[in-house]
Amino acid sequence: MKTLAIISEFNPLHNGHKYLLDKAKEKTKADLAITIMSGDYVQRGEPAVIDKFQRSSTAMKAGFDMVIEMPAFITLQSAEYFALGSIKILEKIGVDFLCFGIENIDPNDFLKKVDSLIKKDDQLDKLTKENLGSSSFTKARYDATVKILGDNNFISSNNILALEYIRAIRKINSKIIPIPIKRISSLNKDKDLKNTKISSSTAVRKNLFKDYKNHVPDFSYEAIEHNKKNYGIPNMEYEFNLFKYLLLINKKPMADILAYEEGLDNYLLKITLSNDNFSDFLEKASTNRYTSSRIKRLILNYVLDNKTKFNGYNLDFYKVLAFNKKSQYIFSNSRSKPILTKKDMDKLSTTDKIILSKMLDASNMYNLGQGREINQDLTKKIRRY
């Protein structure tokens, strides 16, 4: 059986995501579709608008056969490590195709430009270092890429992530075949809802208290509205309070935490002392060098104690959030262990148990911040469709 995968956040799942999945199935003729999805926190360094269980349910209703939870330490990193960590998991599962959205460019041209960039990795790294100065790594990388390609239309957050997927596939010598699919109607950065009813995740999130209904499938709309009614839309105030306690009172060291850079602890300490609420803090802390997403990821990694050394762990498990009967083929053919029950958790290696415990911590932190029941990963049955 052939399997396609989509690396996702579905924050929330919208019509564009459904289009991507349908096109992926059409192009690959795959027998199975799985997604490795961020848990309760997403790569922007924020709590997801609805919890991972509801998002996995919308993914299954959209047409996936299995939803796998991305480890929190992978989610809360820059594109390079987000991509590499995800690809390593998919390689062990035995995926044949990786499908992803791209912008502003024909898929074949995209693959040619990616090939050109990867062949010039040494030059790209050199130019990136030269551009760093007072800029963030992301901006330095952007400028270096534009200089090599002579084209800034290639650069978008979606395309950079897609580039890193392919770089990761080649880095680990995976046989996964990358399948770029061009986005229609809306770009990832667009903040306004489109008349075509296919809008960006950013636009949908910004309009959750307006008329967004036609831009998401009905089952996704129901999940969002249920969450709004019962819990509201989460913000970062709860996590920020935990961060302040650890930084100001506990004085927990930051040096070995993911997304840390020398001097960031003292820099953030000064700003935290003079800013009580999160939005003011983030506005003061964000600079060209330290982007808001990086600051938010660092806060979450610091609170969760996600350490830099985790990137060196060889993960040998995947945590299942939802599946159907057809997807049980994956259980039999994967080179890593599926986590479906408490007993499965108990059989893990020491390092795998550490990573899994951090995933559970992230979910409990999210649930506490929203007034939800904790330990749902241990009490909630895995949804079988």
Indicate the Cα dihedral angle 208, 214, 218, 223, nearest 10°: 0
* 199 marked as part of a ligand binding site: no
Q: Is 338 annotated as a binding residue?
A: no
Q: Is position 10 annotated in a ligand binding site?
A: yes
7 labelled ligand-binding? yes
Gap between the Cα atoms of 333 and 19, Å rounded: 28
8 is in an annotated binding site: yes
Residue 275 is assigned to a ligand binding site: no
Annotated ligand binding at 9? The verdict is yes
Distance CA 108, CA 105 (A): 8
The beta strand positions in the chain, using DSSP E, are 3-8, 32-38, 41-42, 46-47, 66-70, 97-102, 177-182, 317-323, 337-339, 383-384
The answer on whether 18 is annotated among ligand-binding residues is yes
Say if residue 11 carries a ligand binding annotation.
Answer: yes
Q: What are phi and psi of 6, to 5 degrees?
A: -130, 125
Using a CB cutoff of 8 Å and minimum separation of 24, what contacts does 116-125 make?
Answer: 116/148, 116/149, 117/145, 117/148, 117/149, 117/163, 118/166, 118/167, 118/170, 120/148, 123/148, 124/148
Q: How far is CA 256 from CA 54, 261, 265, 293, 351, in A?
A: 33, 9, 11, 19, 17
Q: Closest Cα to residue 142, out of 152, 100, 133, 45?
A: 152
The answer on whether 314 is annotated among ligand-binding residues is no
Half-sphere exposure of 349 (CA within 13 A, CB side): 10
232 is in an annotated binding site: no
| Cα separation, 310 vs 258, whole angstroms | 9
17 carries a ligand binding annotation? yes
Flag whether 105 is marked binding.
no
Helices 292-304 and 278-285: angle between axes, nearest 10 degrees: 120
Tell whether 12 is in a known binding site.
Answer: yes
Contacts of 192 (CB under 8 A, 6+ apart): 199, 203
Q: Is 27 annotated as a binding residue?
A: no
Which residues fall in the annotated binding site for ATP?
A: 7-20, 101, 158, 183-184
Which residues fall in the annotated binding site?
A: 7-20, 101, 158, 183-184
